[in-house]
Structure 1
Amino acid sequence: MDTEAQHTERDRSSAPADGTEEGSRFTHVTDPAAETMSWGRAVFLGMLCTVALLLFSAFVLQPFLIPSRSMEPTLKVGDRVLVNKLAYRFGSEPRRGDVVVFDGTGSFVHETPDENPVTALLSGAAASLGLAEPAETDFVKRVVGVGGDRVVCCDERGTLEVNGSPVVEEYLYPGDKPSEVAFDIVVPDGTLWVMGDHRGNSRDSRDHLGQPGGGMVPVERVIGRVDWLGWPLGRIGSLEGTGAFTGIRPAGASHG
């Protein structure tokens, strides 16, 4: 029996009537509707992720781009810090030595600058993700005095005092004095006295002494505490705390 001939006949009879090769049955055909749906899904997921990041930034942890040298050497221009917005949400309040971000409207800035609403929305979103400089009303400084504290600078040794206790500020920019401007203030309850670590290059509470509010920042205006450095890679990690205010006497102790 000629099995080879039978195989040949079977092969020919199984070929498509139009003469095309068997493999051509599997040629990929693009479906425009499926492509459109795929792009739509990708755009939707992208928008969803962006909204989730903005909400996380608004209520939990916000990246913040450092725009000036006022907090050197602790924070440098271009650093991206992570601001813990939950730090003071559950009854806790800022403490001496904390590095905080706050809205200076009414204390450091008297009026919110006029800005195009669309531009403000876009720049605000970019700032919330740490991609652009923060709003002109946002500042980052170190808490030096809390409600009830008497803050004096400088004593006969040229040292800052809080409630009569000298503060050895190891975080100051090398060569800086605690302050070139003399002051003796009592911090009202519910407010903070804040200063930059680079005292020779910082506009802080000292610069607003003669203005309404006296340079005091309301606690309610604090956005959060700087707890971590997120960029550059070589500086990623927790922000070092300070022991400079350990042992400070309670508020009012220096008056009695």
Structure 2
Amino acid sequence: MGDVAVGARSEREGAGEGPGEPEVTPGRRGTSAKKQRPLWKELPLLIVVALVLALLIKTFLVQAFSIPSDSMQNALQRGDRVLVDKLTPWFGSEPERGEVVVFHDPGRWLRNTPTPEPNVVQKALGFIGLMPSADDKDLIKRVIGVGGDTVECEGTGPLKVNGKPLDEPYVFPGNTPCSTDPQGQFSVTVPEGRLWVMGDHRQNSEDSRYHQLEADRGFVPVDNVVGRAFVIAWPINRWDTLPVPGTFDQKGLSAAGAAAPAAMAFAGAVPLVLARRRLSARRSAPRA
């Protein structure tokens, strides 16, 4: 039986395949290489992928916002574009003292602020995060107090947090840290889960001080915070980072979010460790 099979194979080889003839792979006779699609056919897919990525980045990572007023001078000027970190809160981090944050209007803070009607292009770019959304009722201020803090102003200042006077070089030149009008004189204790925010242009900022008689008493819910503004991205000649001023690191002002970087680092390390374990297991598995 074995000799017959070998002989038959030899006859087929002799009859059907001569020297120098190309070998034909069964099942692929007559086929040719697949042609690459032209770029113009791939372009719609690329645009869709880019839009999806932009939406994901806007929703979970970074979003651009425009500065509409002078309340944060000189750190921020009207018309500046800032990038806001939206990722960190996903790891349980909460705003800290000294950070510049963007937050949704907690009540009716913007009731007297007219909102311009955006055109179609502005709406589209705002939707995907390439431009600030004109439909959002958002504000930007500096966090002065977090839950449990006592914030007070007497006379022209200095502003005090938990009895410690703040050195505030970021306050607009010519302004005093505290305003002498009735709303500018206060002593408040920030409830848990709330923030006390103020603008750097102290005499030109309708911040927590001027909403103490409203339902929220001037406090901003932490849940209303969109994220921390960490860099001025536009215009180019204004590019700069927005670090936390050193005065908030002084002894007696505990850092509310000190555990957040460690938690974020741990969360980022877990996938790497798991991936390494899977790779090691795959390498050590017996090959078939």
| TM bucket normalised to smaller | 0.7 to 0.9
Partner of 2:30: none
- Contact 1:124-1:134 within 8 A present in 2 as well: no
Deviation at 1:125, TM superposition (A): 4.6
Deviation at 1:158, TM superposition (A): 2.2
Partners of 1:237 and 1:134 lie apart in 2 by: 24
Question: Which 10-residue stretch deviates more, 145-154 or 40-49?
Answer: 40-49
Distance 1:179 1:121, change over 3 A: farther
Partner of 2:54: 53
Instruction: Report the AA paired with residue 58 of structure 1.
Output: T
- Contact 2:116-2:134 within 8 A present in 1 as well: no
- Contact 2:197-2:207 within 8 A present in 1 as well: yes
Deviation at 1:115, TM superposition (A): 11
Deviation at 1:235, TM superposition (A): 2.5
- Contact 2:63-2:129 within 8 A present in 1 as well: yes
Instruction: Report the AA paired with residue 226 of structure 1.
Output: A
Q: Using structure 1 for the length normalisation, give the TM-score.
A: 0.72
Partners of 1:201 and 1:133 lie apart in 2 by: 24
Deviation at 1:64, TM superposition (A): 1.2
Q: Please show how residues 38-187 of structure 1 align to structure 2 within 5 Å.
A: 39=40, 41-106=42-107, 108=109, 123=123, 125-126=125-126, 129-132=129-132, 134-154=134-154, 158-180=157-179, 181-187=184-190
Q: Alpha-carbon deviations, 1:170-207, whole Å to 9, x = none?
A: 11110111232211111000000001111122111111
The match for 2:196 among 193, 197, 203 is 193
Partners of 1:219 and 1:121 lie apart in 2 by: 32
Partner of 1:6: none
Partners of 1:44 and 1:53 lie apart in 2 by: 14
Q: Alpha-carbon deviations, 1:50-88, whole Å to 9, x = none?
A: 221122111101111111111111011121111001222
Partner of 1:241: 244
Question: Which 10-residue stretch deviates more, 124-133 or 187-196?
Answer: 124-133
Partners of 1:124 and 1:197 lie apart in 2 by: 32
Partners of 1:131 and 1:211 lie apart in 2 by: 32
Q: Using structure 2 for the length normalisation, give the TM-score.
A: 0.65
Taking only the aligned residue pairs, the percentage that are identical comes to 42
- Structure 1: state its 5+ residue gaps: 1-36, 252-256
Partner of 1:228: 231
Partners of 1:98 and 1:78 lie apart in 2 by: 20
Deviation at 1:214, TM superposition (A): 0.4
Partners of 2:218 and 2:121 lie apart in 1 by: 29
Partner of 1:202: 205
Instruction: Report the AA paired with residue 151 of structure 1.
Output: V
Aligned to 1:63, the other structure's residue is in SS state strand
Deviation at 1:221, TM superposition (A): 0.9
- Matched length: 211
Partners of 1:73 and 1:220 lie apart in 2 by: 27
- Contact 2:99-2:243 within 8 A present in 1 as well: no
Instruction: Report the AA paired with residue 83 of structure 1.
Output: V
Partner of 2:14: none
Partners of 1:182 and 1:120 lie apart in 2 by: 45
